[in-house]
Amino acid sequence: MAFDPSSLRHLFPILAQSAYDHPLTYLDNAATTQKPLPVLDAIQDYYRSFNANVHRGAHFLSDRATNRFEQARDTIASFINAPEQSHVIWTKGATEAINTVAFGLEHLLEKGDEILITSLEHHANLVPWQQLAFRTGARLRILPLTSNGEWEPEFSHYFTDRTRIFAATQISNAIGVSTPLQTMLDHAKQQGAFTLVDGAQAVAHYPIDVQILDCDFYIFSGHKMYGPTGIGVLYGKSHALEVLLPYQTGGEMVRHVSYQATEFNVLPYRLEAGTPHIEGVIGLAAACDFLNAQDRLALLAWEQSLAMHVYSRLHKEGGIEIYSPEKNTTLVSLSVPNIHILDLNAYLDSQGVAVRAGSHCAHPLMAQLGVAGTLRASFACYNTMEEANRFCDVLLEAIDLLNDE
Amino acid sequence: MTDSLGQQKPVNIKALLQACRSKEETFKALVTLSKTLPRLSAEKKTEENKVKGCESAVWLVVEESHGIRHFKADSDAKLMRGVLVAILSLVEGKMLADIQKMDLKAELAELNLSSYLTSSRTNGVLAILNKINTV
């Protein structure tokens, strides 16, 4: 039986409102998802029932907070099938997770080493590596999509004996294309490179198993998977996390401090300086529980069917360029020649339809596609077929209104 | 907004925008206004004339003669061209000192354009007002 989004939509009270007298149609889920009641309740419950700083005070509330905080680490570890909970490091998001790795590996890089990324990367998985290359004299190399949006049949030559780091997104935030990750990771590992996978766009949709992926680092943010903002995860294999020099130092991450020296704490605390985002951690664990309680593959199939439906409707219309794949994606990214995406966006907004118009923090990819930006409708489990159709209807109205006579 | 002779018909910008009762009506009014904006030639669309801070490209040419300011503007986005028509209608042909005394934000809000005045990175109307106001 097909998945019915009404089975969980009531858990997202924010969606039951009007925008400019139209039903709110929220299709900007790749930017951030809405949060279900269990997440909202968990955050409020934390402040109402067990707010205290973690890992310090030996008192009733602190013990409760610390227990729940470390239980949350277990929840996230099993959510991505990490072998040990100490492999899960809290960060403020995907960006901080990548920066933690980029700064942490700096001491291992030499002039002439290569850092390889793909042409699909969000700026968050590009700029930290570019800046690392500037600091160390390493060379940033790009494994490109071809002009027709395919991967080259033979890309192993991008992986050389100088490749020290390979970082790739699992799914492009801008155009919804998946990377042939397993093959790429195999090539990278053959060259002995550290491997990092940006799962920011994947975790809300795909069950993740970091042991099957077998990458050194897997990173994601909470707010794109029904969790709160300001919390993210850096998963790493033991040896990979162990070699990272802490990029932030201070309280919590130390075992002993004197004026002469500091002995750092063990993992995961060594990489978590300062009081953590406790409510975020609690909320993120609730988001994992929410997802675990669903039939994940049914949700994925539903989200993909919405994107496929939009693709098939708009593909038939002349004059719409679609950059996302026809299948196996949960978003549709498009542009209309001679009509500015901000104009399309403004009309969609006036009808209560929320999408994203812009470069999606991927300027080099947009340059490769030959556009300044695209209009992106991205789906989550609570979106309905009516909403997918409404996006198409309103977009076509907008094109009519904006087409020059 | 051209008549049978191809002449520009004057549009009462203020009345048109103030009559808008919804975001959709404002959208449509701005599309109408956008058609009245004379487009800038390619050689005027220089980096120097570009207003920084707009997600759509906006060019604003400020000329002054005998203390009176004249403005020409263009954008690659249609709604922004409509907004430019509204903004320029407030300031065209005025002395700089008089423009500086105006509360342009308030005047645009009266034209139902306040949603274009948020300081989000998607619009650079504040940057445009800034350029209009400076010596």
Q: Which residues of chain A have a CB within 8 Å of the CB of B78?
A: 339-340, 343, 402
Q: Is A371 on the interface with B (CB under 8 A)?
A: no
For the domain that residue B88 is a member of, what is the CATH number? 3.90.1010.10
Contact state of A339 with B76 under an 8 Å Cβ cutoff: no
Domain count, chain A: 2
- Is A361 among the catalytic positions? yes
Chain A positions in Cβ-Cβ contact with residue B31 (cut-off 8 Å): 401-402
Q: What does the pLDDT read at residue A160? A: 97
Residue type at position B125? V
Is residue B51 one of the residues assigned to a domain? yes
Q: Does B52 reside within a domain? A: yes
Q: How far is it, in rounded angstroms, from Cα B62 to Cα A234?
A: 51
Cα A316 off chain centre by: 31
Domain-located, residue B108: yes
A401 at interface of B, judged by CB pairs closer than 8 A: yes
Per-residue pLDDT at B80: 92
H runs (alpha helix) in A137-216: 181-190, 210-213
pLDDT along chain A (405 residues), means of 10: 91 97 97 98 98 89 96 98 96 98 98 97 97 98 82 90 98 94 96 98 98 98 98 98 95 93 94 96 98 97 98 94 95 96 95 95 91 95 98 97 83
Tell me if A358 and B27 make a contact (CB, 8 A cut-off).
no
Pull the structure tokens for residue A133. 């290359």
Q: What is the pLDDT of residues B17-32, one digit of tens each?
A: 999 999 999 999 999 9
Amino acid, single-letter form, for residue A255: R
Q: How many domains does chain B have?
A: 1
How far apart (Å, rounded) are the C-alpha atoms in residues A80 and A139?
Answer: 32
Contact: B77, A351; criterion CB under 8 Å: no
**Token output for A283:** 């909320």
- Residues in contact with A10: Cβ distance below 8 Å, sequence separation at least 6, in sequence order: none
Residues A316, A241: one domain?
A: no
In a domain, B6, yes or no: no
Of A271, A292, A313, the position where a domain reaches its end is: A292
| Mean of all residue pLDDT scores within chain B | 87
B93 three-state secondary structure: coil
Whether A104 is in a domain gets the answer yes
Quickly list DSSP for A233-272: EEEE-HHHHHHPPPSS-SSSSEEEE-SS-EEEPPTTGGG-
- Interface contact B22-A21, CB threshold 8 A: yes
- Looking at residue A17, its amino acid is Q
Quick: pLDDT tens for B42-55.
999 999 999 987 77
CA dist., res. A142 & res. A101, Å (int): 19
Residues A307 and A191 in one domain: no
CB pairs A-B closer than 8 Å: 39
Alpha-carbon distance of A308 to A378, in angstroms, equals: 11
What whole-number distance in Å separates Cα of residue B57 and Cα of residue B74?
A: 8
Q: Determine the distance in angstroms separating the CA of A343 from the nearest CA of chain B, rounded to an integer.
A: 6
Q: Give φ, ψ of B33 to 5 degrees.
A: -65, -35
How much of chain B, in percent, has pLDDT values that exceed 90? 65
Determine the structural domain holding residue A302 and report its residue range.
6-31+295-400
Distance from C-alpha of A322 to C-alpha of A314, rounded to nearest angstrom: 8
How many Å apart are CA B25 and CA B15, to the nearest integer? 13
Residues of B with CB under 8 A from a CB of A: 22-24, 26-28, 31, 55-56, 76-80, 122
| In-domain check, residue B60 | yes
Residues A301 and A286 in one domain: no
Mutation target to probe the B interface, by most B beta carbons within 10 A, among A340, A351, A355 is A340
Please tell me whether residues A146 and A235 are part of one structural domain.
yes
The pLDDT score that the predictor gives to residue B1 is 46
DSSP A38-70: HHHHHHHHHHHH----SSS--SHHHHHHHHHHH
Confidence of residue B4 (pLDDT cuts 50, 70, 90): very low
Residues A129, A189 within the same domain? yes
Which residues are within 8 A (CB) of A311 and not within 5 positions of it... i.e. 6 or more apart? A322, A324, A326, A332
3-state helix, strand, coil in chain A (%, to 5): 40, 20, 40
pLDDT of residue A154: 86
- CATH code where residue A231 lies: 3.40.640.10
Task: Say whether pLDDT at B7 is over 50.
Answer: no
Strand partners, A322: A334
In a domain, B50, yes or no: yes
Residue B1 lies in a domain: no
Mutation target for B interface from A22, A342, A356, A366: give the one with most B CBs within 10 A: A342
DSSP notation for A333-376: EEEBTTB-HHHHHHHHHHTTEE-EEE-TT-HHHHHHHT-S-EEE
Q: What is the ipTM of this complex?
A: 0.88
- pLDDT (0 to 100) of residue A151: 81
- One domain, residues A146 and A242: yes
Residues A343, B76: C-beta atoms closer than 8 Å? no
A144 part of a folded domain:
yes
Domain range for B29 is 13-133
Q: How far apart are CA A398 and CA A309, in angstroms?
A: 19
Residues A285 and A381 both lie in one domain: no
